[in-house]
Amino acid sequence: MHVVRITEFRFQPETLTIAAGDSVRWENRDILPHTATAGDSSFATPELSTGTSSLDYAPVAGDHPYHCDAHPVMRGMLTVR
Ligand SMILES: [Cu+2]
């Protein structure tokens, strides 16, 4: 399982490469709610309040840019091989 932490309005790590079938846990360690929402709709967490997390599985292979619905300047990249 891979973990992406959300702190200070950033996804950490901002870019992550995983294998098909891997899982990713999104953890919000920030002071406001955030989401991780793929631009191609391949995955989307629910709104994560402070201290909560969400487990998702790898979407189809490729590059999946994603953002936070509430804060579009927050951007990340999930690459699935
Ligand atoms: Cu946000």
Query: Distance from the CA of 56 to the center of ligand 1, in angstroms?
Result: 18
Q: What's the length of the chain?
A: 81
Ligand 1: centre distance to CA 17 (Å): 22
Give me the residue spans of the domains in the chain. Answer: 2-80
Exposed (0-12), middle (13-18) or buried (19+): which is 42, by Cβ within 10 Å? middle
- The per-residue pLDDT string of the chain (81 residues; one tens digit each, 9 = 90 and over) reads 999 999 999 999 999 999 999 999 999 999 999 999 999 999 999 999 999 999 988 889 999 999 999 999 999 999 999
Q: Where are the alpha helices (DSSP H) in 1-81?
A: none
Q: What integer pLDDT is reported at residue 58 of this predicted model?
A: 86
Any residues with CB less than 8 A from the CB of 57 and at least 6 apart, and which?
21, 22, 23, 24
**Structural tokens at position 78:** 């999930």
- CA–centroid distance, 16 to ligand 1, in Å, is 18
The CATH class, in words, for 2-80 is mainly beta
